Amino acid sequence: MKVGALLTSAGINIGLCVLFLSFYSILRKQPQNVKVYFGRRIAEEHKRLRGAFILERFVPSPSWIVRSLQITEEEMLATAGLDAVVFNRILVFSIRIFSLAAILCIFGILPLNYFGQDMHHVRIPSASLETFTIGNMQEKSRWLWVHCVVLYIISCVACFLLYLEYKHIARLRLLHLVQTTTNPSHFTVLVRGIPKSTHESFSTAVENFFTKYHAPSYLSHQVVYKVGKVQKIVMGAKKAYRKFKLFKGIAVDQTCRSVTYRCCLCGVSSNSFQQLSSEEQKREKPFVDDSNLNLHDEECAAAFVFFKTRYAALIVSEILQTSNPMKWVTSLAPQRDDMYWSNLWLPYKQIWIRHIATLLGSIVFMFIFLLPVTFIQGLTQLEQLQQRLPFLKGILEGKYMTQLVTGYLPSVILQIFLYTVPPTMMLFSTLEGPISHSERKKSACCKVLYFTIWNVFFVNVLSGSVISQLNALSSPKDIPMQLARAVPLQATFFTTYVLTSGWASLSSEVMQLFGLIWNFLRKYILRRKEDSDYIPSFPYHTELPKVLLFGLLGFTCSVLAPLILPFLLLYFFLAYVVYRNQKASSTIIQDFPCTGFD
């Protein structure tokens, strides 16, 4: 890849960033978008909107950047929670370590790589990016010790900064636990895997067990009943069957009127459902009361057990209740708003089967994703692409077309395919059977992280020039040398990936495109009323793996290809501003004059 192709990709992404950020500066000032960008808090505090035309609403302004940087960590902790603060500290750590890496590598390693084999080069826009990598160094060069020293410095400073960050986060966590108000979930333990007995119900079994083994601290319990659409249909069918069974053999009134719908254009006869007379309905009504239905059949092998103290609930949730680890499994109950109720009725014995099935599904999905990744790597190697597809020679002869195909198109195609990964992994995480929304999102976050590291990092390296280099091996002892030459070549693709997946995606993230589209459809197409109880959650399972992947690319390519560090550092600066703005929007009431609120 040429430097001109990289500059073309950088120019396109910079233009998209400026465009999206300008749109965001205008859209956030519109009264109809207040729920999208500022959440429920502002919408509740400001009920009436003014319809006056204000010119300043339609003029982009950078004031939101200044106000997002002014928010303190205490305010973020109070409004957005500890997770948001930890996410912000990841960005702070990345800025610190890669600032040091950029200074050392740009001024220390990049000149050595550039003049490694030849002191005379062509013009920089026409030069290949491989010239700036460690692959341009001569074999057994006497300057390779500089690379080693810089690598050790970056590693040692990274370990020291990680120690400081973990110490700071641990202090915040202890402070958060101490200052947290008392919640009923602190006294509640979720019990699953309750043994089934023919002599007693689950409720009686729970009461007998905890009265016997935890009598001083046991307070009460609540058994979980089956839920879900299928179970509701089954319960409705049972109730209807029992009602009609009681009326069997009773005379009914055959005179039924036709049913006319609200449109007043059609009507059908209701003879297929014979109606009971009013006398029979009054006479049989006491016998079909829903309270007489037996609910023991709807009980699940799970229950919420309440204790008198938090200490007792914590002890019960941590110890093993029986010698069989699949029975009487206890854990602290999630908070009511965090509970994922649909999975509570799942038998605990199915959980490990679901984990294995979703793991296999994730692996299969990762291997299926190899096809687009291999195709994308073909676009970065134009010579091989023209040999395999001869009809593209005429199209790719143009200078600007070549720069566009090799510098911008591969990372865009990969980013489009990657948009399908978070929903798929979230589906796999749901099928695992988590009992809380946070547990489900954490599982999806880990799956997306492993997926992106494997498919974006390792597969791009292995499916690129490494394969072509391994085909020319004469003996196994040449493998390390060939890998050392081939791996730095793929750093050029990672540089363009940072531009496309980093800069452009961040600017689109701050615009909240999906929220804008849904807000427009809900208001002007579907004509639905505003849901004041809906609070959008931050997509940690999509954003956190992306930040960690860029950190991996930075640590891997900082010495191999230092040219990636300026683009990576700009990404982390932009991410710091954008994500702080996402958190600050819930605390800053107005940052623009005449918003349209009284």
Burial bucket for residue 232 (CB in 10 Å: 0-12, 13-18, 19+): exposed
pLDDT at 315: 92
DSSP state of 203: H
List of residues 6+ apart from 527 with CB closer than 8 A: none
pLDDT score for 165: 94
φ/ψ of 405, rounded to 5, equals: -70, -45
Task: Specify the pTM.
Answer: 0.75
For CA atoms 83, 86, 88, 94, the dihedral sign is: negative
Backbone angles phi, psi at 241, to 5 degrees: -65, -45
Q: Any residues with CB less than 8 A from the CB of 177 and at least 6 apart, and which? A: none
pLDDT of residue 97: 95
The answer to whether 380 and 411 are in contact (CB under 8 A) is: no
User: How many other CB atoms are there within 10 angstroms of residue 334's CB atom?
Assistant: 18
Q: Quick one: tokens of 72?
A: 């303190």
Query: Mind spelling out the 3-state secondary structure of 527-580?
Result: CCCCCCCCCCCCCHHHHHHHHHHHHHHHHHHHHHCCCHHHHHHHHHHHHHHHHH
Residue type, 434: P
Give tens-digit pLDDT for 480-515. Answer: 666 666 677 777 778 877 877 777 778 777 777 777
Q: Of 273, 444, 285, which is closest to residue 358 (Cα–Cα)?
A: 444
Which pLDDT belongs to residue 108? 87
What does the block give as tokens for 17?
């960033």
Q: What b/e readout covers 272-309, taking b as 16+ CB neighbours within 10 angstroms?
A: eeeeeeeeeeeeeeeebeeeeeeeeebbbbbbbbbbee
Cα pseudo-dihedral 521, 440, 501, 498, rounded to 10: 160
- Identify the pLDDT of residue 284: 43
Per DSSP, the three-state class of 319 is coil
Answer yes or no: are the C-beta atoms of 581 and 510 closer than 8 Å.
Answer: yes
Low-confidence ranges of the chain (pLDDT < 50): 40-53, 252, 256-293, 466-467, 470, 472-473, 532, 587-598
As a whole number of angstroms, the distance between CA 437 and CA 432 comes to: 12
Contact 211, 218 (CB under 8 A): yes
